[in-house]
Chain A
């Protein structure tokens, strides 16, 4: 296997983990804005409780992906940065405001109005960042970095819905009692929304970007897309039958399947029609050094992550608040 393919595999793993953990994180913010009903404040409290210890870590995956891109595929990094300058700037503003708002809110608890203000900022930024991320992916797929094209906008919405779905399912594993039921209902509803958005995205591809539609129908991309569709049903079923841990596994596989389907539809291009992975790759010395480093880093990272999740994600809370 050539070095750039191995690095691309590392990239897929990192993107998948970011989609799951970062997605759950963003989605938590979405549910924070959408918190409603008699248990509104308990819902927000559980979200805060779930995100607190892990949010920094969840977003380091993003930094890692960027670093990987500019180390191993420098021309692609330069081209993407120029082509997607505007949506990436929005993503960035969202990330800055989101992190700051989360920290500020947790420390401003004595002032109701201030913590409310930062709570709103946190929620809005949690929607903005995944939306523009989605438009970047969509724009990249359509070509010419057309991030405002109908398909790209659909992908943006899809990304927000996916984050919300992952978060709702994860949150059912964080707490027992009525709040868990709230997230169970939300999880089922958002899965339906996600399916509808997926259909609209495919439709918009068929109408406005036939080449994208054709790429998604290739034999290499179908397994991922079909798996994702099936798992959508599995997620709803698991939630319906209250098998929360299974729902969590299913939603992770679903997210990865969507990614792999998209990835396969793009291969071997990193930037469609312009740069393949092989063309964009840094010299082999750099790739090799990066791979060695990733192995050493991974050897430290995996036990640390295990410890983090062992300490904080062991058992759901019995009583919220």
Chain B
């Protein structure tokens, strides 16, 4: 299921973030009548067709796998968290309908009506991400029920949706989708600019993509900071693992980098910034931060991957912010061509955004172990008892690898062609 999730997460993120790019680019086309924006919108709708199809089937797979792999989890938790899942179902429904209209309706709707159809895609995409993330937040901070010897009773579905972790996690994840979609698209066009400086579409594509990416990344760092402070109060054990904080201490230093050693309970080769962790977590340099030793060992996640993933996420996120700032200043928010080194950095930013997103997801998942729903159900008690699990696991992994390869190959072949018919009244501009 991890494979399916990691796979789906990429497409889901693009399914959420990418429609925003379409809203902007088609809006720019309607406003400026610049044919480059029209051709970009047509090209991007082909990208959306491929990505949305794969995102949809991998999402269907996940809804099955919830049962196929985690029947016990669903037996216990289904009634509590099913409602946000159902809401996600409706949001996805609307998204699928308007994707259909959008992709195939270019010649059947008036330009304005067609553009308006991109809004429901972007909105319902963001909403479906929000609902699914609400479920994940529930797993981190379960709410809306009473735990009666491992059975959920007195269920309040609304309280389950609005669980404590929900607001920060939902915003953090949704922004991650915009960051990823923006920087990944920017990387493609930056690469094109480097290879074909005369390409007429790359500059326009890069500008639209970076408008989204560069707006989302500073917001993301702010929300990330809020999330960490939230963790200090509600998920202290996860914070301890994230920060490789083995021991409870006052005036806690922030551990940057390093390799946590679970055996000696120390973190080697790390940079320690005095008082910073206490300040970040509790806005007080002398606050006490609970370390892993404050909790029972059987409830403890493995700090090694959690800390490494956390630092990876923060590190790549900060680099993205730097690149976004560099872009905004040196190209005057996209009105000038980027220099060679900036273009190279932008190419790298696509990979960085991907790493940041997957690492962030690993933090929240691994940081919750050994629980699948914190304090309620352990992962090992939730997994299926059906036989031949590993055969299915390798089979699905191979299948996904095969699909991903084909998809990547097809995506790389998509070009913004001169043969896309431009409607009457379009204006041709040079770069």
Contacts and interface: CB of A to CB of B under 8 A. Distances in A.
Asked if A and B are interacting partners, one says yes
A81 interface: yes
A102 B53 contact: yes
B75 A80 contact: no
B103 interface: yes
Contacts of B406: 100, 104
B70 to A, nearest CB: 9
A301 B94 contact: yes
A66 B78 contact: no
Given A289-B157, A311-B101, A297 B68 contact: no
Nearest to A91: B64
Contact of A301 (B63, B90, B386): B90
Most chain B beta-carbon contacts within 10 A, residue among A52, A55, A289? A289
Contact of A71 (B57, B75, B83, B97): B83
A81 B60 contact: no
A93 B399 contact: yes
Interface stretch (A185-193, A232-240, A302-310): A302-310
A244 B362 CA distance: 54
Nearest to B387: A85
Given A92-B64, A103-B50, A107-B410, A82 B71 contact: yes
Interface in B44-64: 46, 49-50, 52-54, 56-61, 63-64
Interface string B385-407: 11000001001000100010011
Q: Is the interface of A mostly helix, strand, loop or mixed?
A: helix
Nearest to B69: A81
B410 A53 contact: no
A302 B272 CA distance: 57
A304 B92 CA distance: 12
B82 A71 contact: yes
Contact of B86 (A67, A74, A308): A67
A48 B407 CA distance: 20
A8 interface: no
Nearest to A83: B386
A54 B100 contact: yes
B82 A282 contact: yes
B155 interface: yes
A56 B100 contact: yes
Interface residues of B, number: 66
Nearest to A103: B53
A64 B60 CA distance: 10
Interface range for A = 35 or more
Contacts of A103: 49-50, 53-54
B86 A68 contact: yes
Contact of A67 (B57, B89, B410): B89
B130 to A, nearest CB: 14
A53 B82 contact: no
Nearest to B109: A311
A286 B96 contact: no
B54 A100 contact: yes
Contacts, number: 206
A222 to B, nearest CB: 33
Contacts of A93: 395, 399
Contacts of B105: 53, 311-312
A115 B67 CA distance: 34
Contacts of A104: 50, 406-407, 410
B72 interface: yes
B324 interface: no
Most chain A beta-carbon contacts within 10 A, residue among B85, B88, B101? B101
Most chain B beta-carbon contacts within 10 A, residue among A72, A85, A301? A85
A150 to B, nearest CB: 24
Given A53-B101, A96-B399, A286 B54 contact: no
Contact of A293 (B65, B77, B90): B90
Contacts of A88: 64, 68
Contacts of A98: 57
A70 B85 CA distance: 9
Contacts of B83: 71, 286, 289-290, 293
B85 A71 contact: yes
A42 interface: no
A149 interface: no
A77 interface: yes
B54 A74 contact: no
B104 interface: yes
A92 B65 CA distance: 9
B289 to A, nearest CB: 38
15 contacts: A53-B100, A53-B105, A63-B63, A63-B92, A70-B74, A70-B78, A71-B85, A81-B67, A92-B60, A100-B53, A102-B53, A290-B86, A297-B89, A300-B90, A304-B94
Given A59-B56, A60-B92, 11 more contacts: A56-B96, A77-B74, A81-B67, A81-B74, A82-B386, A89-B68, A100-B403, A104-B410, A286-B79, A286-B82, A286-B83
Closest 6 CB pairs of A and B: A71-B82, A74-B78, A81-B67, A297-B90, A103-B53, A282-B79
